[in-house]
Structure 1
Amino acid sequence: MQGNFVWYELLTTDIEAAKAFYGAVAGWEAEVTGAAGFDYILFKVPGFDMGVAGMIQLTQEMLDRKVPPNWSGYIAVEDIDAKARAFTAEGGSVIVEPQNIPNIGRFAVLADPQGAVVCLFKPNPMDGSMPPAPPAGSPGTFSWSELYAGDGDSAFAFYSKMFGWEKDMAVDMGAMGTYQCFAVDGRSTGGIMTKMPHMPMPFWNYYINVEAIDAAAERIKAAGGQVVNGPIEVPGGSWIINCLDPQGAMVSLTAPKR
C-alpha cells in the first residue's frame, strides 16, 4: 500500500449537483456519513460497501483562499509527520498540517516544490474484515494518476525520492516532451509530464474507469460537464477523455474501448 494512491476526494461548491453528475457519469451511489466528524459524502460502486471516493463542500476559508473545485489524491505513507518534513526539506510546503481524522486515520495536505497539491494518508489499524471492494479496474474505480508538472524530469526525481516510485514506460510526445509512467511495487499506476503552456499551474489529475469512452463522453455532456480533450487512444489500447464537471473540477475517464 505504501506509495500508492489509496483515496480520492472531490472538493466542490455544490454537493447535490455533484452527486447527480457523478451518479450519471460514473454510476456512483452517494451516501452521507459522519465518520469524519461532519457530513462527508461517500461515493460507492453499486453492490459494494467499500467507498471508492469521497466528497466535501468547499469551506468559506477555502473559497477565501481561492481554492477551486478540484479532485485530490491521497498517497499512503507510514509516517505522515516525517513525510511532511521531508516535503518541506526538499522545497515543498505544508497546506494542512498533519492531523487525525477521528476513527479513520491521519492525513496532511502538501504541495510539491512546483506547487502541485497532493495529500498523505495513514489509516488507523482495522479490527476485523474490510467490507467488499469492487475489483481493481472495474467501472467506477480509479486506475491512473497523472501529474502535469512545471518540469516533468525534476518532478519525477522528487516523487521518486519521496515515495520510491520507479520509472516505467516513457512515451515521446514530440513538442510536448516525454510522458514518464511510474510504477509502485512493479505496477504501473500513473504518469508525469511537463504541463502544457495554457495550464495555469501544476496539478494532479485522476482517471475513473468506465466501460466505453464514447458513451461516457455523451453522459458527461448530458449531465452538464465538458469534454476538453479526447477521445484519445493511449499506448496499450485504452481510450481516455479529459473533462470538467459542472462546477469546474477536472476529472478524466478511461475505458478499454470506444
Structure 2
Amino acid sequence: MSTRESYAPGTPCWIDLMAPDVEAAKEFYTSLFGWTAQDSHDDDGTWIYTNFLHDGQVAAGLGRQPEEMSAAGMPPAWSTYVATGAVVSAWQPGSHRGAEVCNEPGTWSWNELMTRDLEAASAFYSAVFGWGYEDMPMPYGTYRVISGADEGGLGGLMAMPPNVPDEIPSYWTV
C-alpha cells in the first residue's frame, strides 16, 4: 500500500465528493471500494463530513452538496485538491460574478501571499493562473507584484520574514 505523510506544493493531495444524498453515496462507495465511512459530527451531534478509510487510513472525503446546487441540476461532483502551501480558492463566475465594488475606501483592495518558498509559489501560481510578476526590492527580500492584463497590480507575494515562527504556515491575507 502507498502511504503518504506529506505532499510537495503543487501535488494533488486530496479528493472529496459533494453529493446531495450523503447516505446513498456512503452506501455506494463503501460497497464499491470496500471503504469504511467515518462520520464527523459537531457538538450537538449534527453530521458535518465523512472520511472514507481504506484499510484504516483516510483515502477520500464526502460532503453534502448545497441544496441550491442540487436544485440547479448540478450532479454530484468529485473535487481534486492540490497542496499549495497556503489555502487559496478558485472562482467560476455564474450569476454572482464576484465583488461589485473594490479598490474604494471600505472595500477589498489587495491580496498578499506570505510564503516559505517564494520561487515555488511564484512558479505554481504562474502555471495555474498565468500570472506574471514585477519584482520590487524590499529590506528583507523581494516583493513580487502580480501583474494583471489591464488592472495594474492584482496582489503580491513575498517570502515569510525570518522572524516569523516556523509553525506559522504560508498564508494569503486580504
Higher RCO (CA 8 Å, separation ≥ 6 residues): 2
TM-score, scaled relative to structure 1: 0.30
Higher strand share: 1
